[in-house]
């Protein structure tokens, strides 16, 4: 009980720098960054830009049926109808055949989600977006570039989140990266909503953030994480629909800490993930009927994952989750269902119900932690439990 790994979460680096130049250098030269108060607000801003660009009476955005409900929050706030597409069997990617049938004259954007850090197939989605005259919005909330990485951040607009448990975490904040090459005249950037940037933070707000960040860093220690996990009113790990109330800019305090946190993320040698991947490969998962999702998706060893996902048959998943949780090894079952069955979305998405692959995926997904708090003894225990 008194040792619990969080499913995700690296410490927040509290080093501040001048935000102007340092932040710009952290992104590919092809992109210009626009900062927001959250990843959800950033996605809403990107969808708003897509609506303004195409200008149709009843705009629609296409997104996967297995995803975070914040995608719905952003779509609704922007004034677009979310159109769900089932995923491929045993994969976190949208079903391309079904996606093609969902495109209409009202489609303003296709949202490609990099779930767990596994990259969507942007090269296959781009022709479909171009055919629809729609933007390809790359939801990279769970994936962050390690620098000279190929294949990441190719969308017309890219969404980043700096919330709790994200690859680069500042306990809040987000960004839209606008591809300057796709819009050399700057038109697309001008369509992104203007912000109410919180430039006038007072000393109390800054101190409050520093204290929250220090508390967060303290509480994600495995010797202490059991405490917030035991408090039901914190709703840790719960998946709910929360409507977005407004689009605001990112606080300057968080923005000033972004370069240090990006630098720390990119400097991580990924030893935990690599050791875990090697260990799982030694467990003969095929015999156990477990699908190693990164391996099945041909993810390169250099692609850093936010979580390490496995697909396990439902009864076995429940048993394995209970064993891992009892040992404090940070398992997660992620989103409990396809989006139409998420609490708060049942009525809104009542006309969109049948997504068998997404439903099966939700019933079988189990993730393991890859963050810096995971130790070799933790990985050894994971191997013993999975090999049973």
Between 232 and 386, where is the model more confident?
Answer: 386
Cα 64 from chain centre: 13
Q: In terms of C-beta density within 10 A (0-12 exposed, 13-18 middle, 19 or more buried), how is residue 40 classed?
A: buried
Give the span between the Cα atoms of 39 and 31, in whole angstroms.
17
211-222 confidence digits (pLDDT tens): 999 999 999 988
CATH number belonging to domain 267-386: 3.90.1150.10
Q: Which residues contact 198 (CB under 8 A, 6 or more apart)?
A: 37, 248, 249, 250, 251, 252
User: How many helices and strands, by DSSP H and E, does the chain display?
Assistant: 15, 10
- For residues 94-117, give the mean pLDDT: 97
Which residue, among 48, 192, 155, has the nearest Cα to 108 in the 3D structure? 48
pLDDT in the model for residue 326: 94
User: At residue 245, does pLDDT exceed 60?
Assistant: yes
Q: Where are the domains of the chain?
A: 267-386
**Max Cα–Cα distance, the chain, nearest Å:** 59
Which residue, among 32, 9, 42, 29, has the nearest Cα to 248 in the 3D structure? 42
pLDDT in the model for residue 54: 94
Q: In terms of C-beta density within 10 A (0-12 exposed, 13-18 middle, 19 or more buried), how is residue 13 classed?
A: buried
Give the span between the Cα atoms of 140 and 119, in whole angstroms.
9
Q: Is residue 89 within 8 Å of residue 361, measured between CB atoms?
A: no
pTM: 0.94
Which residue, among 336, 345, 353, 359, has the nearest Cα to 241 in the 3D structure? 345
Q: pLDDT band for position 21 (50/70/90)?
A: very low
User: At residue 97, does pLDDT exceed 50?
Assistant: yes
Which residue, among 149, 372, 148, 170, has the nearest Cα to 261 in the 3D structure? 170
Give the span between the Cα atoms of 202 and 95, in whole angstroms.
48
- For residues 256-280, give the mean pLDDT: 93
Q: Which residues contact 132 (CB under 8 A, 6 or more apart)?
A: 103, 104, 107, 110
Q: Which residues contact 248 (CB under 8 A, 6 or more apart)?
A: 36, 37, 41, 195, 196, 197, 198
CA distances from residue 186 to 130, 157, 215 in whole angstroms, order as listed: 19, 13, 41
Tokens 């914190």 appear where? 234
Query: Quick one: residue 330, left, alpha or beta (phi over 0 = left, psi -120 to 50 = alpha)?
Result: left
pLDDT in the model for residue 44: 98
Q: Is residue 59 within 8 Å of residue 106, measured between CB atoms?
A: yes
Tokens 């609506």 appear where? 51
Strand partners, 107: 60
pLDDT in the model for residue 388: 80
The stretches of the chain forming alpha helices (DSSP H) are 19-25, 39-54, 70-78, 96-102, 122-132, 187-191, 203-219, 226-229, 252-267, 271-281, 285-288, 293-296, 314-326, 356-364, 376-386
Which residue, among 14, 1, 99, 40, has the nearest Cα to 247 in the 3D structure? 40
User: At residue 230, does pLDDT exceed 80?
Assistant: no
- For residues 182-195, give the mean pLDDT: 81
């Amino acid at each position: 009980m008194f040792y619990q790994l969080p499913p995700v979460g690296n410490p927040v680096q509290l080093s501040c720098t001048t935000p102007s130049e340092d932040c710009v250098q952290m992104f590919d030269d092809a992109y210009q960054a626009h900062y927001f108060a959250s990843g959800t607000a950033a996605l809403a801003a990107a969808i708003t830009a897509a609506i303004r660009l195409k200008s149709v009476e009843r705009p629609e955005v296409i997104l996967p049926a297995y995803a975070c409900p914040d995608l719905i929050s952003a779509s609704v706030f922007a004034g677009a109808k979310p159109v769900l597409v089932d995923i491929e069997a045993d994969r976190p990617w949208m079903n391309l055949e079904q996606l093609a049938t969902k495109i209409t004259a009202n489609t303003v954007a296709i949202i490609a989600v990099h779930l767990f850090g596994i990259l969507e197939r942007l090269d296959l989605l781009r022709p479909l977006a171009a055919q629809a005259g729609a933007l390809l919005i790359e939801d990279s909330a769970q994936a962050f570039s390690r620098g000279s990485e190929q294949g990441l951040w190719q969308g017309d607009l890219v969404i980043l989140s700096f919330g709790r448990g994200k690859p680069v975490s500042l306990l809040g904040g987000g960004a839209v990266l606008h591809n300057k090459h796709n819009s050399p005249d700057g038109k697309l950037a001008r369509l992104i909503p203007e912000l109410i940037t919180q430039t006038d933070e007072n000393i109390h707000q800054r101190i409050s953030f520093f204290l929250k960040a220090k508390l967060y860093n303290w509480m994600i220690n495995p010797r202490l994480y059991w405490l917030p996990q035991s408090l039901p009113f914190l709703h840790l790990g719960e998946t709910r629909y929360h409507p977005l109330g407004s689009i605001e800019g990112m606080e300057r305090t968080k923005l000033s800490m972004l370069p240090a946190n990006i630098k720390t993320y990119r400097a991580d040698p990924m030893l935990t993930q690599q050791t875990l991947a090697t260990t799982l490969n030694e467990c003969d998962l095929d015999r156990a009927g477990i699908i190693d999702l990164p391996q099945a998706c041909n993810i390169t060893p250099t692609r850093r994952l936010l979580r390490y996902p496995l697909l396990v048959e439902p009864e076995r998943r429940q048993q394995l989750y209970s064993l891992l949780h009892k040992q404090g090894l940070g398992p997660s079952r992620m989103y409990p269902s396809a989006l139409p069955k998420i609490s708060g979305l049942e009525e809104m998405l009542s006309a969109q119900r049948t997504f068998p692959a997404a439903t099966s995926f939700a019933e079988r997904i189990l993730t393991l932690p890859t963050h810096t708090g995971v130790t070799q003894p933790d990985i050894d225990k994971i191997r013993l439990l999975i090999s049973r």
